[in-house]
Amino acid sequence: MTFDTNLADFLADKPEDLGVAILALAKVGKDLAALISRGALGGELGCAVGENLGGDQQKALDVMADDVFAAELAKTQVKYYASEEQDEVITLNPDGHLALAIDPLDGSSNIDVNVSIGTIFSIFEANEGAIESFLRPGKEQIAAGYIIFGPQTGLMLTLGNGTAMFILDRETGAFMLVNPRVNIANDAIEYAINASNYRHWSKPIRAYIDDMIAGVDGVHGRNFNMRWVASLIAETHRIISRGGIFLYPGDTREGYKMGRLRMVYEGAPVAFVVEQAGGIATDGKDRILDQTPTELHGRTPLVFGSKDKVTRVAAYHDLPEGEISPLFGKRGLFNV
């Protein structure tokens, strides 16, 4: 169902400065969508140009997107700008009162293979200090969302009163509201995890996945499908659209104890969007939005999606070590 309103109309009765910042994000998103859709015709967007503070390879479009977002947001009331592509917080508008964290182009390693990529953003009321504006619990966000560049260009947005879905109408250039309150399905048969890392996972994560793999012969009594796109935006949008669970746990590899996703730029905004759509987001055990990052580029394990599935993962962590095996699910705790 399509609703007769676009993003500007939707934001008309919201705080003006917040609305202006979100419209600036949408404007850049629309321009990036046009560039990305050209693929190789738009230049070598996927070529490596460096490395960010977290050790991730930067693509040409990563840096380009960061520059364009910063330039557009400098015209708004965004005082502090924290980007995954920048080492430190940047002051855009000294007189502003908003703090915006952004992953300008999530999934950029997929640019050349035409897989959905996107932008993730998070907005707070600015504190007196620049970095202090972001090292705070995710539940203090006043807005969060993402723009996905795929077969359609979509915008998912929450202002703390539900999650709304918009689709870019390429004919008019407007993001049109298609669902004012998204709800993540609870009864879904898909899970997303990088199974190649199985040997490095903790026992609770291995046990959870073992029980999913057991399918109709296991405690669940039904078969499941595994999905893994290696693009957080694509994984999130699929779960928002049709339910399921995403897991990027920490593991025993060097540098992966806390997973690879960043709390400020990915974990907190995705968690806010997911919770406002009726789902749950944890680090495997505890709620993401209750946690306070200690570093601007600090990482977190991330498990999110349908309530029943995310809750079950936490329950596996609560079991005594000796009871964690692919078969322990037959105990009463997991008979559902």
Could you give the C-alpha distances from 301 to 17, 90, 202, 284, in angstroms and in order? 33, 26, 12, 7
- Give the per-residue pLDDT at 318: 85
289, 310: one domain:
yes
245, 174: one domain:
no
146, 38: one domain:
yes
Does a structural domain hold residue 56?
A: yes
Among the listed residues 103, 118, 101, 102, the one whose alpha carbon sits nearest the alpha carbon of residue 36 = 118
- Give the per-residue pLDDT at 298: 97
277, 137: one domain:
no
Q: What is the pLDDT along the chain (336 residues), one digit of tens a residue?
A: 456 799 999 999 999 999 999 999 999 999 999 998 887 765 555 455 455 555 565 668 888 999 999 999 999 999 999 999 999 999 999 999 999 999 999 988 788 788 899 999 999 999 989 999 999 999 999 999 999 999 999 999 999 999 999 999 999 999 999 999 999 999 899 999 999 999 999 999 999 999 999 999 998 899 999 999 999 999 999 999 999 999 999 999 999 999 999 999 999 999 999 999 999 999 999 999 999 999 999 999 999 999 999 999 999 998 776 556 544 444 434 443
45, 96: one domain:
yes
220, 293: one domain:
yes
CATH code for the domain in which residue 108 is found: 3.30.540.10
166, 205: one domain:
no
Catalytic residue list? 56, 62, 84-85, 103, 105-106, 266
- Give the per-residue pLDDT at 52: 57
195, 315: one domain:
yes
- Give the per-residue pLDDT at 56: 61
DSSP string for residues in 4-61:
S-BHHHHHTTS-HHHHHHHHHHHHHHHHHHHHHHTGGGG--TTSEEEE-TTSPEEEHH
Does a structural domain hold residue 155?
A: yes
Report the C-alpha gap between 96 and 80 in whole angstroms. Answer: 8
Report the C-alpha gap between 62 and 125 in whole angstroms. Answer: 26
The 8-class DSSP code of residue 109 comes to G
Q: Which domain holds residue 200?
A: 190-334
Maximal CA-CA distance, the chain: 61
Assigned token pair, 316: 């596996």
CB 16 within 8 A of CB 27: no
CATH code for the domain in which residue 296 is found: 3.40.190.80
The residue from 179, 208, 241 where one domain ends is 179
- Give the per-residue pLDDT at 278: 98
170, 54: one domain:
yes
37, 168: one domain:
yes
The residue from 179, 203, 224 where one domain ends is 179
136, 164: one domain:
yes
Q: Alpha-carbon dihedral of residues 305, 151, 39, 119, nearest 10 degrees?
A: -40
- Give the per-residue pLDDT at 331: 40
The residue from 145, 179, 213 where one domain ends is 179
Does a structural domain hold residue 112?
A: yes
- Give the per-residue pLDDT at 39: 74
Does a structural domain hold residue 184?
A: no
